[in-house]
Structure 1
Amino acid sequence: MLYVIAAAAVLILWLVAFDRPALKLVFKDGLLDKSKGNVPHAFGQNCKEIARKTPFSGTVKVYMTRSGAKMTFSKSIPHKIQQRIRNVFPHQGFRSNGKKRA
């Protein structure tokens, strides 16, 4: 019985503690350094173009929620660049995990 409780505690800790974005982009000095996840081609090209025109460093993460995709940015990315990246994000390409209420 104790092993079941221990296994459940480990499972809950793993689900809560680890960061699991659907998409992660890491920029360094105006270049796309790393990408993790399925990056839509047009979105990747647009992000590279934004970074080339106005160099910045930071991380962009996309999480899937019930209502759709949620984007988070590191604090080192200026707000104007965050808005430009939000504007080119393909919301139709990322489907929500849950059902939407009408």
Structure 2
Amino acid sequence: MLYVILIAAIVIFWLIAVDRPVLRISFEKGHITKVKGHLPPSFKHNLQDIAEHDPFDGEMKVYNQRTGMRLTFSKQVPKKVQQRIRNVFPHQGLKSHKGKKRA
């Protein structure tokens, strides 16, 4: 019985503590250096344009929530750049269903 409670506690801790973004993008000096997840081509083009105009370092993460997508930025990304990225973000075009089959 104790092992069942221990396994449940580990699973709950893993679900809460592990950072699981749908998309993670790293920037260095105005260039996209690392992408993990599905990045739509139009959004990538807009990000490159924004980063070339106002070079910055930092990281952007996109989380899938019940209410929609949530964007988070590292502290190095300026507020004006964050707003420009939020304005061009494709809320409808990002793939959020992973492993779900369509009927």
Q: Percent identity among equivalent residues?
A: 54
Runs of 4+ in 1 over 2 A off after TM superposition: 94-97
| 1:4-31 C-alpha deviation (Å, 9 max, x unpaired) | 1111011011111110000111001111
Structure 2 counterparts to residues 1-102 of structure 1, below 5 A: 1-94=1-94
Contact 1:69–1:95, Cα closer than 8 Å, also in 2: no
- Matched residue pairs, number? 97
TM-score, normalization by structure 1: 0.89
Post-superposition shift, 1:52? Answer: 1.2
The answer for unaligned runs of 5 or more in structure 1 is 98-102
Larger deviation, residues 39-48 vs 86-95: 86-95
CA root-mean-square deviation: 1.4
**Matched residue SS, 1:25:** strand
TM-score normalised by length of structure 2: 0.88
How far residue 94 of structure 1 moved from its aligned partner, in angstroms, is 3.5
Instruction: Find the aligned partners of 2:31 and 2:45 in 1 and give their Cα distance.
Output: 11
Cα deviation, residue 78, structure 1: 0.6
User: Partners of 2:57 and 2:41 in 1: how far apart?
Assistant: 21
Q: Secondary structure at the match of 1:92?
A: coil
Q: Which amino acid aligns with 2:64?
A: M
